[in-house]
Amino acid sequence: MQPTIDEVQNDYYLKGKWGQNIFKNSNPIILELGCGKGEYTTGLAQKYPSINFIGIDRKGARMWRGAKTAIEEKLDNVGFLRTRLEFLDHCFAENEVSEIWITFPDPHLKLKKVNRRLTSPFFLDMYKEIMQPDGIIHLKTDNESLYKFTLYTIEENKHELLFETDDLYGSGTEMEVAEIRTFYESMFLAEGVKIKYVKFKLQIA
């Protein structure tokens, strides 16, 4: 799907209707933000056929590989949406999303770009608008600064930290989150870079 700027500046016609119009069921919907080539989106969809997954990115060329895999594997629980993430609340309705995955996003290290970090208060407040009260957010990153910033943001805003590690593959913890690797994740691991992982719930008033 590729809504126009006018559509997302108002409300996209699928807002609140993804299950009904696209997936034809009422199964939970999980988003992957900045999905790139869609490895995580399609990998999760293969593993959990009773859950719907939507990969979101602003560059269609990145998502082509994931969409092709979904078609080849006949994955009817996968969708892809090309849009800017700051319009996310115009594309999804209140309580429509059960989980969000943020996999190796741009850390936006310059202070003036702090609100563009996908775990900044700006984006977390937006996620509150579309997520279910018990919804979970996952972050995987190679960047130490983004990892620490996320932990600080969770604590300062009284969100519920469920799990965190600064070395996912070296922690000795067997976790499902380590079973699927993105292109960049595999590249970082080959270079000896430690992968950080954070799992948390939003404090929704």
In order of 48, 83, 140, 145, 197, the CA distances from 135 in angstroms are 17, 22, 17, 25, 17
The residue extents of the domains of the chain are: 5-201
Choosing from 11, 57, 76, 106, which is the catalytic residue? 106
Q: What is the pLDDT of residues 70-96, one digit of tens each?
A: 999 999 999 999 988 999 999 999 999
Here the tokens at position 187 are 């590249």
Q: What is the pTM for the complete model shown? A: 0.92
pLDDT in tens, 17-40: 999 999 999 999 999 999 988 989
Find out whether 181 and 188 touch, Cβ atoms under 8 Å: no
Q: Which fold has domain 5-201?
A: Rossmann fold (3.40.50)
Give pLDDT, residue 4: 58
Instruction: Give the per-residue pLDDT at 100.
Output: 98
Is residue 11 flagged as an active site residue?
Answer: no
Q: Please check whether residue 31 is in contact with residue 96, taking contact to mean a CB–CB distance below 8 angstroms.
A: no
Instruction: Express each pLDDT in 35-67 by its tens digit.
Output: 988 989 999 999 999 999 999 998 877 788 888
pLDDT, tens digit (0-9, with 9 covering 90-100), for 109-153: 888 889 999 999 999 999 999 999 988 999 999 999 999 999 999
Strands (DSSP E) along 29-128, which ranges? 29-33, 52-57, 78-82, 97-103
